């Protein structure tokens, strides 16, 4: 058989056709096998790829494991954040894993999903650590192409971005808004690739946002992604990957609190 003109990732996607394999069905079988509860997860959920936030919450006895999360691969913890019940999953690294969990979370009662991921600095002159509210993500990963046709960027939900405008002005640390580069291959971040993405105006490089935003757009879900710029790809011996107090957990929770307060509204009816 002759090779196709396009690579497999761009062929036979049929975006309007529903998937045979559904998260609801997987969760049904996982719930049966694991004897998990039948309750919903919190409407507000957080993906914590590094796991630092959930570790800090557990060490400080602020989080408890949910008996209703019927996932084969992860545990979900719940905690109170100024009167809001929030679910959190740690160590969800990479685009495909993040979207797998997003699919299952929304099938389990989540209505707003936030991701706070560590990221490498691309733009010069940034004072790190700092946070970025990601408004668009360069699609240099694979998962987004299973949800949206080919394109350069996946965009944050416009309505959510509007509601978050000015939400972080009173925080004690900077929160920028801008684009990032999403990659599947962190150990292939070459000088040429970094330079090209700096020229595109990328602030940072991370591993989940493009896929999560593509999922959000394709499935009409409320998802917002933040990058916590903490490193320069380990090019500085002895002073890289520093997040600050409690490995960044305290600042991340303050960021999350401000985001949830500003997102407000009826997330179910108005995903943005």
- Percentage of the chain beyond pLDDT 70 is 90
- 164: domain range? 24-263
The mean pLDDT of 99-105, rounded to a whole number, is 98
In a domain? residue 214: yes
The mean pLDDT of 39-59, rounded to a whole number, is 96
In a domain? residue 270: no
Facing residues of 153 across strands?
138
Domains identified in the chain, total number: 1
The mean pLDDT of 135-151, rounded to a whole number, is 98
What is the structure's pLDDT at 124? 93
Instruction: Please calculate the CA angle 154-198-243 and round it to the nearest 5 degrees.
Output: 80
In a domain? residue 271: no
In a domain? residue 211: yes
What is the structure's pLDDT at 59? 97
Cα–Cα distance for residue pair 72/15, rounded to 1 Å: 27
| Tokens standing for residue 53 | 């936030």
In a domain? residue 15: no
> Does the pTM exceed 0.85?
yes
The mean pLDDT of 90-118, rounded to a whole number, is 97
| SS3 state of residue 143 | helix
- Between 146-155, 183-192, 202-211, 260-269, the lowest mean confidence (pLDDT) is in 260-269
Q: Which of 149, 138, 181, 140 is nearest to 10 (CA)?
A: 149
In a domain? residue 6: no
In a domain? residue 10: no
Top pLDDT among 208 and 31 is at 208
Cα–Cα distance for residue pair 9/99, rounded to 1 Å: 17
In a domain? residue 99: yes
Taking only the tens place, the pLDDT of each residue in 183-240 is 999 999 999 999 999 999 999 999 999 999 999 999 999 999 999 998 765 555 555 5
What is the structure's pLDDT at 102? 98
- Mean pLDDT score across all residues of the chain: 91
The mean pLDDT of 155-159, rounded to a whole number, is 97
What is the structure's pLDDT at 269? 37
Location of structure tokens 């879900």: 221
Domain CATH code at residue 184: 3.40.50.1580
- List, in order, residues 6 or more apart from 139 with CB less than 8 Å away: 145, 151, 152, 153, 154, 182, 210, 214
């Amino acid at each position: 058989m002759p090779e196709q003109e396009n690579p497999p990732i761009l062929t036979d996607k049929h975006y309007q056709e529903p998937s045979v394999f559904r998260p609801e069905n997987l969760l049904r079988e996982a719930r049966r096998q694991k004897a998990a509860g039948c309750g919903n997860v919190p409407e507000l959920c957080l993906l914590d790829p590094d796991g630092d936030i959930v570790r800090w919450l557990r060490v400080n006895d602020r989080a408890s494991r949910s008996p209703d999360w019927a996932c084969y691969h992860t545990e979900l913890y719940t905690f109170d954040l100024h009167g809001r019940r929030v679910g959190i999953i740690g160590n969800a690294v990479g685009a495909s894993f993040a979207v797998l969990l997003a699919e299952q979370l929304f099938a389990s009662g989540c209505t707003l999903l936030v991701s706070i991921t560590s990221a490498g600095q691309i733009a010069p002159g940034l004072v790190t650590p700092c946070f970025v509210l990601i408004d668009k993500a360069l699609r240099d990963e694979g998962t987004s192409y299973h949800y949206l046709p080919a394109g350069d960027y996946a965009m944050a939900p416009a309505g959510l971005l509007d509601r978050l405008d000015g939400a972080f002005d009173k925080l004690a640390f900077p929160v920028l808004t801008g684009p990032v580069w999403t990659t599947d291959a962190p150990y292939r971040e070459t000088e040429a690739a970094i330079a090209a993405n700096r020229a595109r105006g990328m602030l940072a490089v991370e591993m989940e946002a493009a896929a999560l935003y593509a999922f959000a757009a394709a499935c009409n879900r409320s998802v917002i992604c933040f990058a916590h710029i903490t490193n320069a790809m380990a090019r500085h011996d002895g002073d890289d990957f520093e997040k600050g107090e409690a490995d960044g957990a305290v600042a991340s929770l303050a960021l999350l609190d401000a985001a949830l307060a500003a997102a407000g509204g009826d997330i179910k009816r108005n995903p943005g």
